[in-house]
C-alpha cells in the first residue's frame, strides 16, 4: 500500500459525489431562475462541500480506530488508520487541513453571500466534526439519516441556490429533498452492513434499532420518494429527464432487499451513491434546459 493509495482509501472517493450533487442542483436551479451565473461562487461552493466531506471521512477514519470500533470483523472497506497504512496523527492532521480549506473557502462565500452563508457554513463544519467526534458522535445515534438529509440536501442545495440568487425559496428546499433522500439511503446501506458490529460497539443507529425489514423499508422510501416529489418541482416537459434514473433506483431497491449482510453490500453502497449523483445531474440538466424542453 503506497502512501497515495492509502490517502485515497481514507478519503473514500466513492462518497464524494454526495457532496457534489447538491451543489450542482442548487446552482442549476439558481441559474435557471435568475438567468445569470457566478462561476467563481459555484467553484468555491463545490470545493468547500468536497473539502467538508473529505474532512468528515478522514475524521471518521481515525475516530473509529481510536474508539476500537474497526475490528477484524469489519465488513466495510479497509480503513487506512486501523490497517496501519497511515498514522492517527497524520489522518487527524489531514482532516483539519480539509476543514481549514473549507473554512477559507467559506470566508470567500460569506463575503459574497453575507450572514446566511456564514451560519450555514459554520453549521456544516460543526456537523462534519461532530459526526464522529465528541462524547456522543452523530454516527453512533439514530440521527445519521436526518443529518445527511439536512446537510447533503436542504442546506447544500439551499445554500448553493442562495449564492446564485440572493434568496431562499420553497422550490430550492424541495430540490434539496430530492437529492438528500437518496444521499441518506447511502448511510442506510452502510449502517445495515455494520449493524452487528455496531451493536457490539454500543452504537444505536437506526439499523441497530430496527429489524432488517425496517431497514429495507427505509431504503425503499428514501430511494423512491424523490420521484414522487419531482412532479411538484418540474413541469411535465421537464420531469421526464430526471425520471430516467428511476429504473436504476428500482433495481437497487430490489438488490438491497435480496442482498445478504456482508462485504457485497460495499458495491451496493457505491452504486447507491452513483445513483444519487446521476439523479442530481439529470435534475440539474432539467433546470438548465428548461427553455428548450
What's the CATH number where 61 sits? 1.10.600
Q: What angle in degrees, to the nearest 10, is found between the helix axes of 17-34 and 39-67?
A: 160
Spell out the residues 6+ positions from residue 118 whose beta carbon is closer than 8 angstroms to its own.
Answer: 106, 110
**The pLDDT value given to residue 291:** 72
Residues across the chain: 293
> Is 17 contained in some domain?
yes
244: DSSP letter: T
**The pLDDT value given to residue 196:** 86
| Residue pair 282/238 in contact by the 8 Å Cβ criterion | no
* Burial (0-12, 13-18, 19+ Cβ within 10 Å), 286: buried
pLDDT higher than 90, residue 197 = no
pLDDT higher than 80, residue 267 = yes
> Is 83 contained in some domain?
yes
134: DSSP letter: S
Each residue of 124-146: pLDDT tens digit?
Answer: 888 777 776 666 777 778 888 99
Spell out the residues 6+ positions from residue 239 whose beta carbon is closer than 8 angstroms to its own.
Answer: 230, 231, 233, 286
- The secondary structure of 57-69 as a DSSP string is HHHHHHHHHHHT-
Over the chain, what is the mean pLDDT? Answer: 89
Q: Which of 173, 258, 183 is nearest to 222 (CA)?
A: 183
Share above pLDDT 90 across residues of the chain, in percent, rounded to a whole number = 62
**The pLDDT value given to residue 73:** 60
Q: Which of 88, 132, 123, 89 is nearest to 103 (CA)?
A: 123
Q: From CA 209, how far away is CA 195, in angstroms rounded? A: 9
pLDDT higher than 70, residue 69 = no
- SS3 state at 10: helix
**The pLDDT value given to residue 258:** 93
Higher pLDDT residue, 275 or 35? 275
Compute the average pLDDT of residues 155-175.
Answer: 94
> Is 293 contained in some domain?
no
pLDDT higher than 90, residue 89 = yes
Compute the average pLDDT of residues 252-275.
Answer: 93
Q: From CA 49, how far away is CA 156, in angstroms rounded? A: 8
215: DSSP letter: H
> Given the C-alpha cell 466495510, which residue does it identify?
76
Question: Which domain covers residue 52, as residue numbers?
Answer: 3-288
**The pLDDT value given to residue 51:** 94
Q: From CA 9, how far away is CA 91, in angstroms rounded? A: 11
Each residue of 6-54: pLDDT tens digit?
Answer: 899 889 998 899 999 999 999 999 999 988 899 999 999 999 999 999 9
> Is 38 contained in some domain?
yes
Compute the average pLDDT of residues 256-263.
Answer: 89
Q: From CA 185, how far away is CA 207, in angstroms rounded? A: 12
Q: 70 pLDDT band (50/70/90 cuts)?
A: low
C-alpha angle 189/213/273, rounded to 5°? 20
Q: From CA 99, how far away is CA 118, in angstroms rounded? A: 15
Q: What angle in degrees, to the nearest 10, is found between the helix axes of 3-11 and 39-67?
A: 100
**The pLDDT value given to residue 159:** 94
Domain count for the chain, please give it: 1
> Given the C-alpha cell 463575503, which residue does it identify?
111
Compute the average pLDDT of residues 171-198.
Answer: 93
**The pLDDT value given to residue 125:** 80
Candidate from 32-41, 115-124, 197-206 with smallest mean pLDDT: 197-206
**The pLDDT value given to residue 283:** 97
Amino acid at each position: 500500500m503506497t502512501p497515495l493509495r492509502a490517502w485515497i482509501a481514507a478519503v473514500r472517493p466513492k462518497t464524494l459525489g454526495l457532496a457534489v450533487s447538491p451543489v450542482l442542483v442548487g446552482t442549476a436551479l439558481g441559474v435557471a431562475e435568475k438567468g445569470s451565473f457566478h462561476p467563481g461562487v459555484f467553484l468555491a461552493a463545490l470545493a468547500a462541500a468536497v473539502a467538508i466531506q473529505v474532512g468528515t471521512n478522514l475524521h471518521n477514519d481515525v475516530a473509529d480506530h481510536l474508539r476500537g470500533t474497526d475490528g477484524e470483523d469489519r465488513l466495510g472497506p479497509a480503513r487506512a488508520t486501523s490497517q496501519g497504512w497511515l498514522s492517527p496523527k497524520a489522518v487527524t492532521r489531514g482532516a483539519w487541513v480539509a476543514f481549514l480549506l473549507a473554512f477559507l473557502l467559506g470566508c470567500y462565500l460569506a463575503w459574497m453571500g453575507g450572514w446566511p452563508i456564514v451560519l450555514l457554513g459554520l453549521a456544516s463544519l460543526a456537523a462534519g466534526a461532530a459526526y464522529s467526534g465528541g462524547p456522543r458522535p452523530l454516527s453512533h445515534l439514530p440521527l445519521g439519516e436526518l443529518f445527511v438529509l439536512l446537510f447533503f440536501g436542504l442546506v447544500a442545495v439551499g445554500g448553493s441556490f442562495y449564492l446564485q440568487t440572493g434568496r431562499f425559496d420553497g422550490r430550492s428546499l424541495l430540490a434539496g429533498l430530492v437529492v438528500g433522500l437518496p444521499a441518506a439511503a447511502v448511510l442506510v446501506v452502510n449502517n445495515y452492513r455494520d449493524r452487528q458490529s455496531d451493536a457490539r460497539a454500543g452504537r444505536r443507529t437506526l439499523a441497530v434499532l430496527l429489524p432488517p425489514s425496517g431497514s429495507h423499508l427505509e431504503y425503499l422510501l428514501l430511494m423512491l420518494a424523490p420521484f414522487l416529489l419531482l412532479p411538484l418541482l418540474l413541469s411535465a416537459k421537464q420531469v421526464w429527464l430526471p425520471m430516467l434514473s428511476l429504473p436504476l433506483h428500482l433495481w437497487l431497491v430490489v438488490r438491497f432487499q435480496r442482498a445478504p449482510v456482508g462485504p457485497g453490500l460495499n458495491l451496493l453502497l457505491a452504486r447507491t451513491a452513483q445513483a444519487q449523483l446521476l439523479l442530481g445531474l439529470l435534475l440539474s440538466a432539467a433546470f438548465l434546459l428548461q427553455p428548450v424542453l
